[in-house]
């Protein structure tokens, strides 16, 4: 049995849960309160990093390491390309998503209103810039679900929570988000807190 220690409202944790769900892996998801972590988490994860995965005697932490480990350890369905060049391109795109989108997340929770607004504007600009690329394929840069989709979808689920309304020019992003959200694995990946963030399909644009 796999065990994933996870926060209930965290994109990094969410994408780890989403990869587990897409692969159909049976796992015990233990939601951890940072203020009052359970003893089993403290004992199993000395550094208290989240998310953290236990697979038999192996402890894996850092969400990027976790999702790539899961894809290699449990290869069906594969969520990275089969060839080295394809995997390299996907990993470069993953790095870009982590830098441009996930890099905005800490500032979205700051107390300073101007800093939060700047982070929202930056996140919106990055998504708008990606609209043309997103519209080119059924999935992000591909014809099947990959680690790229597992990374992008948790961000999109939280747009309303972040107070972001995408412009009409980003319709391709919203259409893509809708396709991701109705996937059974995505629904299984949601924590109780995340389910309350967004009504399925409720992704308004500023033009509506």
The model's pLDDT over 30-79, given as tens digits with 9 standing for 90+, comes to 999 988 999 999 999 999 999 999 999 999 999 999 999 999 999 999 99
Of 175, 176, 201, 151, the closest CA to residue 22 belongs to 151
Task: Give the pLDDT confidence score for residue 31 in this predicted structure.
Answer: 97
156 contacts 197 by C-beta, under 8 angstroms: no
Whole-angstrom Cα distance, residue 74 to residue 87? 16
Task: Give the pLDDT confidence score for residue 199 in this predicted structure.
Answer: 65
Q: What is the DSSP letter of 5?
A: E
Q: Which residues of the chain have pLDDT under 50?
A: 201, 204-208
Task: Give the pLDDT confidence score for residue 34 in this predicted structure.
Answer: 83
Of 108, 106, 100, 95, the closest CA to residue 159 belongs to 108
Task: Give the pLDDT confidence score for residue 200 in this predicted structure.
Answer: 59
């Amino acid at each position: 049995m796999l065990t994933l220690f996870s926060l209930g409202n965290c994109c990094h944790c969410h994408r780890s849960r989403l990869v587990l769900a897409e692969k159909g892996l049976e796992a015990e998801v233990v939601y951890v309160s940072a203020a009052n972590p359970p003893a089993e988490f403290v004992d199993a994860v000395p550094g208290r990093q989240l998310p953290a995965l236990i697979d038999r005697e192996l402890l894996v932490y850092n969400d990027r390491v976790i999702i790539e480990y899961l894809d290699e350890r449990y290869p069906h369905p594969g969520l990275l390309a089969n060839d080295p060049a394809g995997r390299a391109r996907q990993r470069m795109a993953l790095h870009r998503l982590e830098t441009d989108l996930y890099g905005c997340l800490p500032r979205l929770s700051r107390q300073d209103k101007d800093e939060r607004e700047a982070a929202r504007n930056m996140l919106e600009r990055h998504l708008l810039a990606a609209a043309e690329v997103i519209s080119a394929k059924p999935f992000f840069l591909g014809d099947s679900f990959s680690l790229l989709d597992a990374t992008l979808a948790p961000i999109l689920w939280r747009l309303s929570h972040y107070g972001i309304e995408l412009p009409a020019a980003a319709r391709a992003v919203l259409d893509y988000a809708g396709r991701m959200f109705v996937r059974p694995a995505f629904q299984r990946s949601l924590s109780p807190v995340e389910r309350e963030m967004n009504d399925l399909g409720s992704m308004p644009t500023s033009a509506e």
